Structure 1
Amino acid sequence: MDFNSVIGIAIALAAVFGGYALEGGHPGALVQSTALAIVLGGTVGAVLLQSPLRQFVLGIRMARWILIPPTLDAAALVEHIGRWGTVARKDGLLTLDSHIEGIDDPFLKKGLQLVVDGTAPTELKRVLEVEIDTFEDLHRQGARIWEAAGGYAPTIGILGAVMGLIQAMENLSDPAHLGAGIAVAFVATIYGVGLANLAFLPIANKLKTLISRQVLIREMLVDGLVGIAHGENPRLITGRLQGYVV
């Protein structure tokens, strides 16, 4: 669980609703289903229009990373690589075959299998770097749907506000409907700007940070596996990989 995200969400909601309440407003006045439907529906539709379905679905699935980020223990991976390097240098690369079955990460498993198969270090690096580039590009596309939503939501909020004002103007002689139209107008703007700046854009930036971290760890793994394939001193490999651990 990423408690930074939980704390950030709590502070943002407390600041918005608490500040509104301190000014004498009633939090219930900010709950407007019509405005929410306009902003969320319009934003989702716009994002779907610009994004392939696969990219959209991936971005939605990646949202869980905000609370439960991928577990990547860089220090533990450095220890594993150092241990594999020692085994390979002492007993040969083929002895690492017994270590492959216990690996859950597909990228690391594939890399170690390539080492065991005797793949040339330059070819090993090339193959794994292609995997890293593909991983980064795919997941950054997923993060971009949240960035796009952050761009569309305020504009859709303004659209909802204009629609609410149109309804209000049409009912100037009917105070009951006049108030409802004005409420939709202002609350739609709040939803658009609030969702963009308190949810969509922060989610997009957080996902980009997590993706960059995963790419860095994979680059570290490539460095270590290539070192093992070269037959480098395990201590040299471990010392070099420590530079990736932050």
Structure 2
Amino acid sequence: MKKMLMKFMAFMGLILFSAAATSAGEVAIDGKITIDEDRLREVIKEVIKENPKLIYETINAYAKHEKKRKLAERLESSFKNRINGLTVDEKINPVMGSKDAPITIIEFTDFQCPYCSRAARTVERVLKKYPGKVRLALKNNPLDFHKQALPAASAALAANKQGKFWEYHDLLFKNASDLNEEMFVKFAEDLSLDVEKFNKDRNSDEIIVQIEAEREEAEKYKLKGTPSFVANGIVIRGAQKIDYFSKVVDRLLAEKKAEKKQK
């Protein structure tokens, strides 16, 4: 990154120097430009001042190019370095989508994480874009500095025991910045859950052990940041846009198709 930035700054410097040299310099008999350094500094300032839009557009274009390049590198790296061993237990892990879907996206989330909230909407669009081909399984990775993330995860899993996980999941993300004990109970009431059972389940050792095990999984597979996704072994880090998810899914589907042809 540092080398690329230095190259970019050198490129910008060349542009500014070329523009400024024309104004600040004098052409000698041999065709060379002689430059007064003080005058050059003044002209460079004038060039920057008079062309802010050009400078901004150049920097912005470079930033977009770099982001695109890094995402492409990340995509290739994720396919070369797939992870194995991460599984889904449908008895305890909430799952959305067809059981026969060839692609399973496992998500590690934190209900107080704004990026997780954004990613949840994106993944929902992915499932709609690929009906029957992609399913989502959710695991919890509540971060320590999000004080309500752990109790929120416990509450969501308690709701799962009454078949209302995804409804509860949506309520948590809609209110991610204001979560508290009263809200956890209110959401259960709003969804017509058995509140007594809900409270018992969310405070049970079973759910606490499950969340801790999922946290350990996230650490084991170096998925500490939230949100993190694993699609058939392909790691997707952060709240990527649907285009990135689509590239992963399309490539995995193409692999599945090729495998069928070989059989």
TM (norm. structure 1) is: 0.29
Which has a greater percent of helix? 1
Of structures 1 and 2, the one with the larger relative CO (CA 8 A, separation 6+) is 1
